[in-house]
Amino acid sequence: GQQVMQIPQYQHVQEGEDFTTYCNSSTTLSNIQWYKQRPGGHPVFLIQLVKSGEVKKQKRLTFQFGEAKKNSSLHITATQTTDVGTYFCAGDYGGSQGNLIFGKGTKLSVKP
Amino acid sequence: DAGITQSPRHKVTETGTPVTLRCHQTENHRYMYWYRQDPGHGLRLIHYSYGVKDTDKGEVSDGYSVSRSKTEDFLLTLESATSSQTSVYFCAISPSGRGNGELFFGEGSRLTVL
């Protein structure tokens, strides 16, 4: 079946360092979404990327969608303790309504 | 806030007992979803609904059933709970009106099956 692979599984950084998580699909995606889940919380929608090669920024967060629409990345510049949580990508393969496939997430911890 | 309420938020039950989780939305969105979240597996779709009495299976639907008799309520039922169904269950809605638009999640229901 369709799978979205996300790496790394865990990332420990010192506050101020940068952080990147990557998602890869073996087949072309219609679009990709990113979510953040704080410890003990629920996933919160961050952004959706639709176009090939798209780059979007939200303050210190930069989201990219690959040219082939098979991979995506989330980069955080100068991490802060408020960035702690698990970041998930979710790939939309199009077609039926329930076809959003989540990656397993990258858990980010930030040491002050 | 997307106006989603899940109940109960926490439940401990015994193997073989029936369990029903409720998801209530206040904004009459067409699409509603049930996911489960387990360590090492991320979020996996159980069932979803695209309207009253219109539901379909997701990736991990075995052992679960759903019902949607009103737009605002989406119920998830475990007919006979097993320990493998110990998990955190999240309900979600899609305000965009598209089946695969952005999702807004409820607070989650933590279920423990002993």
Report pLDDT digits (tens) over A40-51.
999 999 999 999
**Measured between CA atoms, how close is A79 to chain B, in angstroms?**
23
DSSP codes joined into one string, B72-111:
TEEEEEESS--GGG-EEEEEEEETTSSTTS--EE---EEE
- Please name the residue that has the structure tokens 């040491």: A111
pLDDT in tens, A46-95: 999 999 999 999 999 999 999 999 999 999 999 999 999 999 999 998 77
For chain B, percent of residues with pLDDT exceeding 90: 83
Rounded to an integer, what distance in angstroms lies between the CA atom of residue A32 and that of residue B33? 18
Q: How confident is the model at residue B95 (pLDDT cuts 50, 70, 90)?
A: confident
- Contact between B87 and B78 (Cβ < 8 Å): no
The sign of the dihedral angle between the CA atoms of B19, A102, B41, A45 is: negative
B40-65 tens-digit pLDDT: 888 999 999 999 999 999 989 999 99
- What average pLDDT does the segment B16-23 reach? 98
Are residues B100 and A97, on separate chains, in Cβ contact within 8 Å? yes
Contact list in A for residue B38 (CB cut-off 8 A) is: none
d(CA B37, CA B90): 8
What's residue A15's pLDDT? Answer: 97
| Chain-chain contact of A105 with B45 (C-beta, under 8 angstroms) | no
| A37 to chain B: closest CA residue | B105
**A99·B103 Cβ contact <8 A:** no
More confident residue, B67 or B99: B67
